[in-house]
């Protein structure tokens, strides 16, 4: 009984420590995260050949209106294979306590071109959580694909699914469960790939001879977050 009690105490403190340090889904900054005026058109697969070198291109439109508002589109070597609704950030400054946030933060999903930095199938976050969430390690963010600091694509937390299609997150891109799991599995399989180097503004990097520069041991996925109202 004594050993069991000690184990529970150790587990509780471990969960609290991880919970306190993990701010996944929030941007803790004194200034609003920068939004770049980036775009993506299917014509880019031809006009920007480096884009087609990625196995997958994931396009999120965080616009609040228009026919493509709050949507995700996934292309495999230029062919559209997945579409669905998302929830991006609420796009505002939120003081600690608002939406159960643990710190002052910006609920912004920054626009730009990115590639996954790491994947975590069973991630839990301490950025936004209820009073007792630390007991279980934080809010569940299944199938998390981190691509910009603490910002990730992930399955919508339980109880938030009805908000898909609206700006409702703390900064991450929330996805329907079936889409989140499929994208996660597909991108995970590309680990260790050689991909073109590019900048967050969507321009490709070249060497002194004008050839594309490359990075090794990466995920072959290009994630684009744009803010374009399409009529």
Confidence category of residue 79, pLDDT binned at 50, 70, 90: very high
Give the model's pLDDT for residue 14.
40
Q: Which residues contact 139 (CB under 8 A, 6 or more apart)?
A: 124, 125, 126, 127, 128, 129, 133, 157
For residues 132-138, give the mean pLDDT. Answer: 64
Is the pLDDT assigned to residue 135 strictly greater than 70?
no
First to last CA, the chain: 65
pLDDT value of residue 17:
38
103: its two tokens? 């710190």
pLDDT for residue 111 is more than 80: yes
CA neighbor of 113 nearest in space, from 178, 176, 29, 197: 197
pLDDT category at 10 given cuts 50, 70, 90 is very low
97 or 44, greater pLDDT = 44
| Structural domains of the chain ordered from first start | 2-226 (2.40.440.10)
The confidence score (pLDDT) of residue 13 equals: 40
Q: Which residue has the higher pLDDT, 12 or 164?
A: 164
**Torsion, Cα of 155, 82, 35, 110 (10° steps):** 20
Mean pLDDT score, 196-219: 97
The pLDDT of residue 101 = 79
Q: Which residue has the higher pLDDT, 22 or 231?
A: 231
Model confidence band, residue 210 (pLDDT cutoffs 50, 70, 90): very high
**What is the pTM (predicted TM-score) of this model?**
0.86
Whether residue 105 is predicted with pLDDT greater than 70 in this model: the reply is yes
CA dihedral sign of residues 24, 84, 220, 188: positive
In 56-157, the DSSP E strands lie at 56-61, 71-76, 79-85, 93-94, 105-106, 112-114, 118-125, 139-148, 151-155
pLDDT above 90: residue 153: yes
SS3 76: strand
pLDDT of 32 reads 87
Residues contacting 229, CB < 8 A, separation 6+:
63, 65, 66, 69
Q: What is the mean pLDDT of residues 63-72?
A: 97
Residue 103 above 90 pLDDT? no
How much is the average pLDDT of 103-112?
93
Per-residue confidence (pLDDT) for residue 34, from 0 to 100: 86
Percent of the chain with pLDDT over 90: 71
């Amino acid at each position: 009984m004594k050993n069991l009690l000690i184990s529970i105490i150790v587990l509780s403190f471990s969960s609290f420590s991880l919970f306190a340090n993990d701010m996944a889904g929030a941007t803790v900054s004194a200034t609003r995260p920068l939004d770049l005026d980036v775009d993506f058109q299917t014509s880019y697969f031809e006009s920007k050949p480096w884009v087609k070198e990625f196995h997958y291109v994931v396009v999120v439109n965080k616009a609040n209106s228009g026919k493509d508002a709050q949507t995700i589109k996934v292309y495999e070597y230029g062919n559209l294979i997945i579409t669905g609704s998302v929830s991006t950030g609420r796009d505002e400054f939120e003081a600690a306590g608002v939406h159960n946030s643990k710190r002052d933060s910006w609920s912004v999903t920054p626009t730009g071109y990115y590639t996954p930095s790491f994947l975590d199938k069973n991630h839990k976050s301490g950025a936004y959580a209820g009073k007792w969430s630390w007991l279980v390690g934080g809010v569940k963010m299944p199938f998390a694909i981190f691509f910009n600091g603490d910002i990730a694509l992930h399955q919508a937390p339980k109880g938030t699914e009805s908000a898909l299609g609206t700006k409702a997150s703390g900064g991450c891109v929330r996805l329907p469960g079936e889409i989140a799991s499929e994208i996660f599995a597909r991108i995970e399989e590309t680990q260790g790939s050689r991909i073109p180097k590019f900048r967050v503004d969507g321009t490709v990097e070249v060497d002194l001879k004008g050839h594309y520069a490359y990075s090794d041991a990466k995920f072959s996925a290009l994630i684009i977050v744009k803010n374009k109202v399409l009529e």
